Structure 1
Amino acid sequence: MSRGAPAGTTELVKLASRRDRLLLAVWADALIGSSFSTAYSLKDLFPDAQSRRTFVDGIRGASGAAPLYGAVNGTSLGALTAWRLGVVAALAAAVMSVMLVVRHTRADEQTGRQELVAAGVVDRTAPLVAALQLAVSMDLTVGVCIGAVLPILGLPVAGSFALGLAVAGCGVVFAGVAAVTAQVFESARTATGTALALLAGFFLLRALGDTDDSVAWLRWLSPVGWAQQVRPFAGDRWWVLALPALAAAVLVPLALRLLERRDYGAGLVAARPGPARAGAATRGAFGLAWRLHRGTVLSWTGGVLAGALVTGSFVKNVDVLAGGASVRELMTELGGTQDLQDAYLATLMGTFGIMAAALALSVLTRARAEEADGRIELVFSGTVGRARWVTSHVVIAAGGAAAVLAAAGLGTGLSYGLSAHRLGHGLGSMLGAAFAQLPAVLAVGAVAVLLLAAFPRYTAVSWGLYGIFAFVTLVGPSLKAGHYLMDVSPFSQVPKLPGSPFEATPLVVMGALALAGLAVSLAAFRRRDLLA
């Protein structure tokens, strides 16, 4: 045991690392790999100073660039890398920290696992300290690795480590935030949701500061803004890294103090009891499914609408943003047309389609959790049949995906139509392009339903297949992937609208396959035993 650490901390860190070894590897590879690939792609797309200056001029003229990525602080390759990566990587590190801390504190306490651990020689504060050690060590490891890999591409060493530690700093702050929310709320889901809502609020605070120079000081109130204010490759303000350290020094003792003041299994804020009678909207199998998933569906829909409003505003600047010939070639390959604006919009709609599929999978895999946790047996003890239960979750998943696509088409159509002074045409074409993605989303969801019904222990495999589909669709054209490889993904079968001719055949085929998959799933679910 390390000196000063609560009894059992070292053992719990080892246990948590072993439990999450795959998850930790995926997070680390994603953050480190994305930093290297971002710098590499920017170096390839903008090989000279002139092309970078042209791109930066376009970025500064795009109304949606600053809220999304922040201000670009120079025309060097390092400055572009920090602009493109900094905010996104900081958000990803924060999400990783929140997930890790809540999983190994409140979630373990909620499931009773922590009670078994406490039966040994383990101090009450050890699980929280161990979770914080794991999260902070992961953040710092990722930050140091980012600083180590970027110089391989010729970027300055000091700026590389400044960028890596700026990303790590945001993760460290939200490890502390999650430690506090895990003490305040009884439910792991509420603790996670509150921490992520705070992250979204800080992101919006930073975005407002980057949008309007008169309130630029708001960036200093946000941990996400602190990552920008380090200014990697543009002055390297090392002293800004003291801000996340100070925030963590306040949040961690606060979390430990709150832990001492609450009972085991309880939160400082008592859970609100449900209504004595179910309302009409939440009655029955479909009402229960809606109640379980409505927070996820509404938050995804709102987030996509906001993102579509921002990214749609880039359309009028796409000719400038495309810069060199290599960027134009890549955009036309992704969008399926030589018109850069149509290619950009088609790529955007394809990306939103992939996001809608992620929502559908999150709903369906949550249904599997209902079975694994034993709650499904209570549902089946009443009048709800198996087919109705599965269908209720499928309807919410499909309806939620449709809502996300509608938000994507509406947001993009509004921002694009207003900027081009063709609001009616913009809304109509964007809504049509968005809903063209729905059959591919349903096909991906059908795979998850089939696994849930026939092979429930392998339901999570649907996320692996989803990752393959997304990678092939988004990265395949730039890698010059062959026709047979591209056809693996359902999203590659969707007509690239607007700009390309509309083809109904692939959409009808994918829709029919999704319905057939649902029918097979219902039959399989009726025949198998329930699993815990």
Structure 2
Amino acid sequence: MTSLKGTGKLIRLILRRDRWLLLVVVLWLAAAPVGLADTYQSQTAAERAEYARTSGSNPTFLALYGPLHSETAGGIVAQRVGAIPLFIGLISLLFVIRHTRTEEQAGRRELLSGTVCGRHAGLTAVLSVAFLGNLLLGLLVASGLSQNLPGSGALAVGLGFAAAGWMFAALGGVAAQLTENAGGARGIAIGSLGAFLLIRLAADTGGPGNDLSWLHWLSPLGWVTELRPFADEQWWVLLLAVALTLLATTLAFAVSSRRDIGAGLLPARLGPAEASPALGGPLALAWRLHRGLLMGWLIAFTVLGGVFGGIAEGVGDMMKDNKDLQNVFSRIGGQEGLIDSYIASMMSLMGLVAAAYSIQAALRMRAEEENSRAEYLLATGVSRLRWIGGHLTFALLGPVVALAVGGLVAGLVHGANMGDVGGELPGILGAAMVQLPAVWVLSALTLALFGLLPRVTAAAWGGLALCFTLGQFGRALDFDQSVLDVSPFTHIPQVPGGDFTAEPFVWLLAVAAVLAFAGLATSRRRDMGAA
């Protein structure tokens, strides 16, 4: 039997299991660029030039989307979709780990290997689906954009999306070989993606030609922007993406052929033979299960806070030689208003990141249930509410700690740069903490899905994706305010610099309470493992 025997059947199995998920993700990621193209193509040249002089060089935009290489409609679209490769990379690496290490951890890989499936059939199948899916996404984006924009630039955007998916799918394949559990593999892969993002942030925030722009070449996310769609495309950059994809894929197969099924390249750390008295309750057990995840996210928030706080001081320098910016931001308080606007935008982004942690923490309940570990625990004297409460503690209070750490670090760094820690820290810390009600709505949504529709609990990620899409592209796509209001983050007041009212917080907390109650009530009554 060859090592690839059964690959075709596994490909069909993957498509059968995830056909709707793949369809929704591809269409969602392809729709935003096409909608933006319609919006900016309808603008006049003067309006696009105004965008380039103001928003296009705004540090917030540079941090989120990357540099603006052209003042044409295509160039603006290419910048505004600059955050999408990050999500493509995240989805691709999680998809690969789900169908490799997760299957192996659950024991299904060993069962298949004992039949007609070769050793490398599983890895080959999932990488094939990931590569073809990302290529399809790239072609759809290129086809959609070419209806209104030059074909070469449209193709560059599409291939940039596909290349991001290829690279991180291959890196996800490597991460899946390193540890014995899927959580560890996801931590390594997401940590790598976060490091590449921070490198791109450092390279882009100072604007084109800054002293750190060379850092683009150290990050695959930076390579995507260096394709320069609609601005004398640099096609050779795709060779870097192909080389990294081939290298990571080869490494994944090499490691896979040298390890035992169920084992990882990194040795597992064995625990003590007897449990500590500290594990005597469900909350203590939840701490044991969540502490690694929480520590990893706290490190990420510390770094994000340092980056955002360090950048804030230079935001006001943009206005020195730009009269257009001076006129625009004089209406919101001059340089101070510009810095406040930047801080509010970055803290809103940090709120979305905190929501991602909260959803991941809440989803641990479903993972414990699917792997039958919850059933063994609940067969003792532990009630379902106590078990859920242990995990929910980290889903609700974890974001509090994470946002506090991020806001505190950002405030200290920016305050030190401005020489006024006492004056700057409270405002930035408050801007981070006001995101909590919106974060809790998504936490409660995850709990509600866990209770009502446990099989689709992971659809909570779709809620986060919707919030990001509405926040980053909603106004550019001229969505009605009623559509924008679907996102809880739309209702968070702009702090600092905006008017603070308690009413939206009361409504958001009420929505979160209703969703949480629905989740708790139904979780108590349904069968374990029920759909």
* 1:183 partner SS: coil
Uncovered stretches (5+) of structure 1, i.e. residues with no partner: 333-338
Contact 1:55-1:322 within 8 A present in 2 as well: no
Contact 1:230-1:237 within 8 A present in 2 as well: yes
Q: Does 1:152 align with 2:147?
A: yes
Q: Does 1:78 align with 2:77?
A: no
Match of 2:292 in 1: 295
* 1:135 partner SS: helix
Which residue among 155, 159, 166 is the counterpart of 2:160? 166
Q: Does 1:244 align with 2:241?
A: yes
CA distance in 2, matches of 1:57, 1:100: 33
Structure 1 residue 16: deviation in Å? 0.8
CA distance in 2, matches of 1:204, 1:317: 22
CA distance in 2, matches of 1:456, 1:502: 37
- Which one is further off, 135-144 or 248-257? 248-257
- Which one is further off, 218-227 or 521-530? 521-530
Contact 1:417-1:423 within 8 A present in 2 as well: yes
Aligned partner letter, 2:5? A
- Cα 1:278–1:40 change in 2 (3 A) is farther
Residue correspondences, number? 518
Q: Give the TM-score normalised by structure 1.
A: 0.81
Structure 1 residue 14: deviation in Å? 1.8
* 1:20 partner SS: helix
Structure 1 residue 299: deviation in Å? 3.3
Which residue among 77, 101, 104 is the counterpart of 2:96? 101
CA distance in 1, matches of 2:357, 2:259: 35
Structure 1 residue 134: deviation in Å? 0.7
Where do residues 402-481 of structure 1 align in structure 2 (5 Å cutoff)? 402-414=400-412, 417=415, 422-453=420-451, 456-457=454-455, 459-460=457-458, 462-463=460-461, 479=478, 481=480
Match of 2:221 in 1: 224
State, as a whole percentage, how many aligned pairs show the same letter. Answer: 36
| Backbone CA RMSD of aligned residues | 4.1
Match of 2:367 in 1: 369
Aligned partner letter, 2:376? L
- Cα 1:36–1:416 change in 2 (3 A) is farther
Match of 1:269 in 2: 266
CA distance in 2, matches of 1:218, 1:499: 33
Structure 1 residue 116: deviation in Å? 3.8
- Cα 1:285–1:323 change in 2 (3 A) is farther
Contact 1:68-1:310 within 8 A present in 2 as well: no
- Cα 1:39–1:345 change in 2 (3 A) is farther
- Cα 1:79–1:131 change in 2 (3 A) is same
CA distance in 2, matches of 1:221, 1:273: 36
Q: Does 1:178 align with 2:172?
A: yes
* 2:54 partner SS: helix
Aligned partner letter, 2:230? F
Match of 1:125 in 2: 120
Match of 2:188 in 1: 194
Contact 1:230-1:240 within 8 A present in 2 as well: yes
Uncovered stretches (5+) of structure 2, i.e. residues with no partner: none
Match of 1:335 in 2: none
Contact 1:147-1:164 within 8 A present in 2 as well: yes
Contact 2:172-2:189 within 8 A present in 1 as well: yes
Structure 1 residue 69: deviation in Å? 4.5
Match of 1:389 in 2: 387
- Which one is further off, 486-495 or 123-132? 486-495
Aligned partner letter, 1:274? G
CA distance in 2, matches of 1:80, 1:50: 10
Aligned partner letter, 2:54? F
Match of 1:27 in 2: 25
Structure 1 residue 124: deviation in Å? 2.3
